[in-house]
Structure 1
Amino acid sequence: MPRILFNHRHAALLELLRQARVEQGVNQTDLAVALQLRQTDISKIERGVRNIDVIELREWVRALRLDFVEFCGELDRRIEASEALRARTTNSTGKSRKG
């Protein structure tokens, strides 16, 4: 069984990848064709089963006709917000959470 690669930073990336694809009106099959991948690869990436490197991320974003720098900026904002929420949660409970 494949290991799922996941923490709050990955969750932000996976959510943004899927959201961007859906908002652009592109299904997994069409994105796979554009990236010369299989639809199952797109699904595995979006579920966190398969990792995506920065070069693949750039190609993914550009295939959706989005600006890579803006996408990365949005990803950074989401990660920062997630980390701020986690810090507040940790401070209020006194317990540390991994991830």
Structure 2
Amino acid sequence: MTKAIYRREHDIFLQVLKRMRIESEMTQAQCSAALSRPQSFMSDVERGVRRLDTVQLRDLCVVLGTDLISFSKAYEKALRDGE
């Protein structure tokens, strides 16, 4: 099995994360600050350099004004649509 970071699904995951951040009208710096992390944290996440565990993903969703279920639905839709 190919490592997740090299799969199309991972690219789409990152695209959905970035889109949700932009739609929430937050900069990387604002989002990182809300998570008590340096600005480079969100940059690394969006570039795929840093991976999130489930708890971190949930925290990020809360900061972005959504929840893990809504994020998962958006991610699944993006996968189906082939974004």
Task: Report how far residue 70 of structure 1 moved.
Answer: 1.2
Q: Structure 1: how far apart are the matches of 2:7 and 2:37?
A: 25
Give the fraction of aligned pairs with identical amino acids, expressed as a percent: 27
Q: Which runs of 5+ in 2 are unaligned?
A: none
Task: Report how far residue 38 of structure 1 moved.
Answer: 1.1
Residue of structure 1 in register with 2:78 after alignment: 78
Query: 5 Å matches for 1:34-53?
Result: 34-53=34-53
> Root-mean-square deviation (CA), in Å?
1.6
Q: Structure 1: how far apart are the matches of 2:6 and 2:59?
A: 22
Residue of structure 2 in register with 1:9 after alignment: 9
Task: Report how far residue 18 of structure 1 moved.
Answer: 0.5
Task: Report how far residue 37 of structure 1 moved.
Answer: 1.1
Give the residue type in structure 1 aligned to 2:22.
V
The size of the alignment, in residue pairs, is 79
Task: Report how far residue 41 of structure 1 moved.
Answer: 1.2
Secondary structure of 1:26's match?
coil
Residue of structure 2 in register with 1:57 after alignment: 57
Q: Which runs of 5+ in 1 are unaligned?
A: 83-99
Task: Report how far residue 11 of structure 1 moved.
Answer: 0.7
User: Which contiguous aligned blocks of 4+ residues in structure 1 show a shift greater than 3 angstroms?
Assistant: none
Q: Structure 2: how far apart are the matches of 1:64 and 1:81?
A: 23
Q: Structure 1: how far apart are the matches of 2:25 and 2:14?
A: 17
User: How does the TM-score come out when normalised to structure 1?
Assistant: 0.72
Q: Structure 1: how far apart are the matches of 2:17 and 2:59?
A: 12
User: How does the TM-score come out when normalised to structure 2?
Assistant: 0.85
